[in-house]
Each structure stands twice: as C-alpha cells, then as structure tokens.
Structure 1
Amino acid sequence: MPGTPEHPAEAAPARVGYGALLRTPGAWTFLTPAFAARLPYAMLSLGILLLIRDTHGSYGTAGTAAAVSAVAQALIGPQTGRLADRFGQTAVLVPTVAVHAVSVGALIALALGHAPVWGLYLATAAAGASVPQIGAMARTRWVAKLSADGAPPAKLNTAFAFESVTDEFTFVIGPVLAAAIASAVNPATGLITEAALTVAGGLAFAAQRRTAPAPHVPVPGERRVSALASPGVRLLAGVFLGVGSVFGGMQVSVTAFTEAAGQPGANGTVYGIFAGGSMLAGVLYGMVAWRRAARHRLLASYALLVVGCSTLWAMPNLVSLTIAGLFCGLAIAPTLITGYTLVETLVEDGAKTEAFTWLTGAIGLGLAVGAMVAGQLIDGHGPSAGFLVPVAGTGLGLITLVALRGLLVPPVAAGATGAAGTPSKVVAGSPERSAAPQLVGAAKG
C-alpha cells in the first residue's frame, strides 16, 4: 500500500521555472558569452556554402565543402570534449578558437584566389574541426554547478531545456544573419563575422573559470574514462543521427520545394516555423515536472517525431508543408532535451563533456549525410522526394531505440537507492557523490 514502509509514497517532483534557473549564482557569467560563441555554429555551414558558390560558381562544390566541414566537426568535436574533460575547458578553448580563426581566414583567401577544390576541402575540414564545443561545455557547467549546489532533479532538466531552446534559437538566427551579411556586403564578410564571434565569445567563455568544472586528473593506474565505453552513449549517438537527418533533409528539401513553387523567398519562413515549433515545445517541456522515466519520454517523443516526419513528403503546397513542418518541429526539442538528460547519467564525471559532444557531433553528421542524400533524391525524383530522408532516418532510429532501450538504464552502485526505493547512479571517484543521486533523478523522472 502507498505510504507503508514496504511501499513508500512517492513525492511529487518539484517544478523549477526558468526564472529560478537563471537566478542561479554565476549562471549569467557563462551564459552570455556562450550564446555569442555558439551563434557561429549555425553560421559556418551556410557561410561556406555562400562563399564557395560565389567564387567557384558550383552548388555541388559548395555543398560538398559544407558537408566536409560538418563531418570534420562531428568527428573531431568529441575529441575536443575529451581534452576539455582531461585538461579543463580554458586550456582547450583558447587554442581551438585560434585555430578556427586561422582556418576560416585561410578558407576565405583560398576561395577568393580561386584555389583548387582540394584546397578548399582541406580548409573547410580544418574550420569545422576547430569549432569550439560551447554547447556541450555549457551543459557540463550546469551539471557541475547544480551538483555542487545540491539542486533538485527538476532543475537540471530545466537547464537542459534552456540549452536546447538556445541551440534552436541560434539555428534560426545564425543562418539569417549569415545570409543578411552576405547579401548586404559579400559572402567573405559573413565568414569573417562568424570567426570574430567565435573568437570573442569563445575567449570570454574561457575566461569564466569559476563556473568551469574541475579537470578530471587520472590517478596512476586508473583506466582512462571514455564516453563511448558506455553502450547507452553509443545508442544515443546513433539515434541522434536520425535527428540530424531531419535538419539536413528539411534544409535542402524546403529550399527545393519553395523554388519549385515559385516562392524561393519563403524558404526562411517555412524553416523558421519548423524551428519555432521546436523552440516552443522546448520551452514548455522544460516547465513540466515529469514523473515518467526519461528513457520512456525519449521513446514517446522520438515516436512522435517519426509521425511528424512521415507526412512531409505528401504535402501538396507551401501552406500544408508549413503546418506539417510545425508539427514535426514540436517533437525535436523534447527529444534533444531528454537525450542530453539521459547521457549525463550514463558516464562518469571525467567524460561528460565528451559525451555531450558525441550527441552534438552525431546531429551534425546526420545533418551532413541527410542533406547530401536529400539532394540526390531531389535531383532524381523532385522536391518532395527529399522529405523521405527525415522519415527514413528517424524510422531507423526509432527501431534501434526500441530494440536496445535497455541500454539507457544508468549503472548503479551497490546499495544506492533513490527516494522512491529505486537504484540511483553514484559514480565512483566523483567529487559530487552526495549530489549525484539528486541529479540522476532528472533522468528517472
């Protein structure tokens, strides 16, 4: 019976609003520079596309260069995250932003000098690989800060919701800013702005040492912590490839659909409503005190994402496509928020930044592959065919998630139990042992 010693009553989860979250001492000291530094993340791909299309006259070359940048970022980003866990965020950010500025400068010089295509690809690879992983580092700072403060589980869920909404906002504003600068001045200036924001925001973020998590210094004989050692992290990275395919397929397919409809200027509006739906859902999702376990919520939101994507290819006009895109977008942010909440519980303290970057990198890789496949389908079968990429990518992701969902259960320490009598994750060697069960509650509902 509820309330008996054998069946303890389960307290209602606390609800933490955004106001309470943003009043966390020290939060704004890293949130403001983090926004400036992550805005270029959404500017780089389009900036590369516009510059190389302008200098070399080929959408194919420009699109491939943008894809090379995204793939390099997806593969190298997690290694940057691992170094940040090991040596500290400041030690990694300062050289990273310097390399990025030099790489973007080299790309601009090569493009304006009409360099061979292979030279452009090398420069775009370097530019993508050196994008600072600000979003992952900001999430890691929230984990460290809220763990140290003994915050309730719902506060971490709200923090991840805030970060996902911020990501969505930058993906709406970033491309618009890059396109506006390229149109008003020239494409090279757009990339110069991207590099300047990366350097200024990245260095300002790195300077906030008080909110940075302590480096994980391994003791002699200790095994090296790796995020990918967790099967759950590998599963989440795989299913986030499907989320990335939605972004890539939508970007290319919406552009082709609006051009075929004779309204190319509507591209930004249609995609903006799609992203706006995700932002709205993310805001609302972060305000709810969820009782369901995070892995169950992930299954539900991912299934809704598949349903939303399945209608896009059949839309006959721009109005219906815009409405379908809005409903598709509503499932994006809840899926991302829940995935980031889960991954925090699956790895040890010395691998959290790396784990977050694997998810972010998977999205970028899925975006690049999705955009290329959608382009091929559009060339061969028309604009609507490109919308098959999101439903195929998320469909495969959902099948994988359902089949392997048991991998998302966090490891437990013997004898550790939560408030409701369920096992709680306690990471061996964690400096925040006392706070770990509280924050893991964010993933358990």
Structure 2
Amino acid sequence: MPNPYREIFARPGTKGFSAAAFVARLPLPMTTIGLVAMLSQTHGEYWLAGAVSATFALANAFISPQVSRWVDAKGQSAVLLPTTIVTFLALIGLAAAAWMRWPIWTLFAFALVAGLMPSMMALVRARWSEIYRDRPELHTAFAFESVIDELVYICGPVFGIGLSVALFPEAGVLASAAFLAVGTTLFVVQKSTEPKVDPQRMKGGGSVMRLRAMWFLVVLCAGMGVIFGTAEVSVVAFSEAMGNKGAASYILSAYAAGSFVVGIVFGAIKFKSSLARRLLFASLVAAVTTLPTPFVGSLWGLTAVIFLAGAAISPTFISAMTLIERIVPSSQVTEGITYAMTGMSIGFAAGSSLAGWTIDAHGASNGFWVAVAGGALALTTMLTGFGLLSRSEPQAVPDGVALNPAE
C-alpha cells in the first residue's frame, strides 16, 4: 500500500527544509511562554510577564504579514537573514534586560522588536506549494505540516518553561534565540527548494486582503483561534476547580493528540469533494464539538470531549491553507498563509482574555461558552462565505488527479 507521506519526501531537498523549519518555528511558542516563565521569576509580577508576552505575540501577529509580503517580493533568503538577526538580538536584549533589571520600558521595547520574527509556518508551506502546486501531494504536505505544528506547540512550551525553571530564568528565551538562529540558517542555505520570485510581484500587486475570499478565511481562523485560546485557560481553571490542577497537562495533551491523529489520517485520504465543501464540514464539526464542553462534570469526561474537539483542528487548517494556496496569486502564498495565522493569533488572544474574564465572573465551566461562541463564529463565517469561496477556487481539482500529467 503506497504511503503518501513517503511520496511527498521523494523530491530532493524536502526532508532538509522541513527538518530545518521544525527547529526554526519552535521559537514562537517558546518565546511567548518563556517570557512569562522568565519575568515571573526575575520580577515576581505576573501582570508584567503577561503584558510583555502579549506585546510580543500581538506585535508578531501584525508585523509578520508585512514581513511575509516582503518575502514574496524579495525572496526568502533576502528577507530571512536581516529579520532573523534583528529578532535574535531583540531576544538577547530581553534576556539581558530581565537579568540586569533594566527599566521596565526596555522589556516592552525589545518584545516589540522581537515581533519581527518571520512566520516559519507560512514559509515552509510556501516551499511545499512551489514543489507541488496544483498536485494532490500538496494536500498531504499541508497535512504533514499541520501535524508538525501540533508537535511544535507541544514541545515549545515544554522547552520554554522547563529550561527556565531547571537552569536559570533567562534560559528559555536564550534557547529560543538559539533555535531561531540555527533553524533559520539551515533553512536559508537550502536554495534548491526556495520559491522563485515573480518579477511582476516586485512592482507591487497589492495585499492579498484585497480578495474578499481572504477575509472569510482569516475570520474563520480567528474563530478557531478563539476555541484554542479558551481551551488553554478554561481547562486549567476547570482542573483547579476539580482539585487537580496538574490534570490540565494531560487534558491539553489529549487536545493536541486528537488533532495529531486525525491530521495524519486526513492527509492520507484522497478526496473528491471541493476544498470549500471540506472546510464547511470541518467548521461544522469544530462548532458541534464545542457544545458539550460547558456541561462536562468530570476530568475524564472533559478529556474525552477535548480529544474529540481536537479532532476538528487539523482538517480545518489543512483545508483552509490549501484553499488559500489556490485562491491567492502564486507569488503571494506566503503572505496569504501568514494572514490566516494572524487571524488565529488574534482569535487566540481574544479567546483567552474573554475566557479568563468569564471564569472570574461566572466560574470555570462557563469559560467554555467562549469556545462555543468561537465555533459559532467559524461556522457562520463559512456558511456566509461558502458561495464565494467555492467560486474562488479556480485551480481546485479532485485529489488524486494532477493537472500536469507529464509530471
């Protein structure tokens, strides 16, 4: 029986850039949680730790699409080198400011500059798009990257917190800077798989957000982000309310495991339905699986429900990223995917904040209603934009059929 994942790595260079991208994308989750771990120890104030971490996350959410647009215009190597150097120095500056107790404003300043960190999740998908554009292998490649994203968001926080606690407060942030430097360098030196720059793109074709279809996809991703952000906060609060705060770790692991397992299976399936239809079904499942969460009364019950909810993550993002690859100009794929990631980040921040407020005011279980609202937003957005997204899929072909039979 053919293995679709083995097939996508048959092309020269694919193993190398995918491995390098794994290392280079660890710094994003490592930095957000590493800043909290570092500053809570050095300054003893969680409000400061959370505020600096949020400054970095929001700065990255708004700056990274512009960096990705620059990448599409100038090329990955030309942009990654300067932006990585600046980000690396900003992370070193954050560690130094915490260690030497520089003025508080310097922490926010360095966090803002560190937001220049490139969106490696988009950059690696752009390489897959260059290799397998208009081919069914792209679906499998995007599925693989979604699974790797899950691993990154499992390993990143573990490294960020673990190093900071086990060694010294600044260790997590410094390790994040090291991973960024090493991973990006290994990624950039692999020239054979780097997407070619379209000379016409250099003249400026406008942002991908000029396309109406992109707005629906970004809002959809924001809705999914609300679900993620709610889960992070509400699971911890529910576990604490049940007298076992440590249970939150295995419950959230079940969330990632559900996405991981289904993502592997989903990527191996050869679909005949359109991407828009697939995305509609996935958003429906995502919305439905949030409904039981406010009514769960035990930790094991929540684990089971969360596992099922996680199963909707990978299909939604695999379909959304593949659809973006087909509706935006080929020279702006990196920018398009980065905007989707930005939508998710904004949704995550909104979800975690709203869930925290709801929990403080109405109790742990009620925090999950924010996830229900996020699922409703994603599904409503998809229902509203389904017709436009279906029409905006000019290159859509049944999986298993290549547009270029000579390849």
| Structure 1 residue 410: Cα displacement | 5.1
Whether 2:169 is the aligned partner of 1:218: answer no
Corresponding letter in the other structure for 2:174: I
Deviations 1:1-23 (A, max 9, x none): xxxxxxxxxxxxxx861111122
SS at match of 1:351: helix
Q: Distance in 1 between matches of 2:383 and 2:155?
A: 34
| Structure 1 residue 281: Cα displacement | 0.7
Aligned to 1:366: 347
Aligned to 1:49: 36
Aligned to 1:430: none
Picking from 122, 134, 143, the partner of 2:129 is 143
Q: Distance in 2 between matches of 1:103 and 1:243?
A: 30
Picking from 23, 43, 47, the partner of 1:60 is 47
**Alpha-carbon distance change, 262 to 113 in structure 1, aligned in 2, over 3 angstroms:** farther
Cα contact 1:145–1:211 (8 A) shared by 2? yes
Cα contact 1:16–1:155 (8 A) shared by 2? no
Aligned to 1:386: 367
What does 1:7-406 correspond to in 2, within 5 Å? Answer: 17-127=4-114, 129-147=115-133, 153-218=135-200, 224-406=205-387
**Alpha-carbon distance change, 180 to 72 in structure 1, aligned in 2, over 3 angstroms:** same
Q: Distance in 2 between matches of 1:261 and 1:419?
A: 48
Corresponding letter in the other structure for 1:227: V
Corresponding letter in the other structure for 2:149: D
Corresponding letter in the other structure for 2:57: A
Cα contact 1:345–1:410 (8 A) shared by 2? no
| Structure 1 residue 65: Cα displacement | 2.2
Corresponding letter in the other structure for 1:346: I
Corresponding letter in the other structure for 2:323: L
Structure 2 runs not aligned, ≥5 long: none
**Alpha-carbon distance change, 117 to 24 in structure 1, aligned in 2, over 3 angstroms:** same
**Alpha-carbon distance change, 36 to 290 in structure 1, aligned in 2, over 3 angstroms:** same
Deviations 1:143-167 (A, max 9, x none): 11124xxxx7321100110111110
Cα contact 2:224–2:375 (8 A) shared by 1? yes
Corresponding letter in the other structure for 1:311: P
Q: Distance in 1 between matches of 2:281 and 2:393?
A: 25
Q: Distance in 1 between matches of 2:396 and 2:57?
A: 42
| Structure 1 residue 139: Cα displacement | 0.7
Cα contact 1:84–1:91 (8 A) shared by 2? yes
Aligned to 1:4: none
Cα contact 2:275–2:396 (8 A) shared by 1? no
**Alpha-carbon distance change, 69 to 412 in structure 1, aligned in 2, over 3 angstroms:** closer
| Structure 1 residue 224: Cα displacement | 1.7
Q: Distance in 2 between matches of 1:258 and 1:306?
A: 23
Cα contact 1:51–1:188 (8 A) shared by 2? yes
TM superposition outliers: structure 1 runs of 4+ over 4 Å: 410-413, 416-420
SS at match of 1:292: coil
Structure 1 runs not aligned, ≥5 long: 1-14, 425-434, 440-445
**Alpha-carbon distance change, 402 to 56 in structure 1, aligned in 2, over 3 angstroms:** same
Cα contact 1:85–1:353 (8 A) shared by 2? yes
Q: TM-score normalised to the size of structure 1?
A: 0.85
| Structure 1 residue 219: Cα displacement | 7.4
SS at match of 2:26: helix
Q: Distance in 1 between matches of 2:230 and 2:398?
A: 43
Cα contact 1:136–1:356 (8 A) shared by 2? yes
SS at match of 1:164: helix
CA RMSD of aligned residues (A): 2.4
Corresponding letter in the other structure for 1:370: G
Q: Distance in 2 between matches of 1:302 and 1:194?
A: 33
Single out whichever of 274-283 and 46-55 deviates more from structure 2: 46-55
SS at match of 2:170: helix
| Structure 1 residue 419: Cα displacement | 8.8
Cα contact 1:16–1:154 (8 A) shared by 2? no
Which of 1 and 2 has greater Rg?
Answer: 1
Q: Distance in 1 between matches of 2:329 and 2:368?
A: 38
SS at match of 2:271: coil
Cα contact 1:133–1:357 (8 A) shared by 2? yes
Aligned to 1:409: 390
Q: Distance in 2 between matches of 1:50 and 1:247?
A: 21
**Alpha-carbon distance change, 310 to 116 in structure 1, aligned in 2, over 3 angstroms:** farther
| Structure 1 residue 110: Cα displacement | 2.2
Q: TM-score normalised to the size of structure 2?
A: 0.93
SS at match of 1:43: helix
Deviations 1:188-228 (A, max 9, x none): 101111110011101110111110001122279x6524211
Aligned to 1:427: none
Corresponding letter in the other structure for 1:133: S
| Structure 1 residue 121: Cα displacement | 2.4
Aligned to 1:12: none
Deviations 1:33-88 (A, max 9, x none): 11110122221111111112222322232222222221111111111110110000
Single out whichever of 15-24 and 133-142 deviates more from structure 2: 15-24
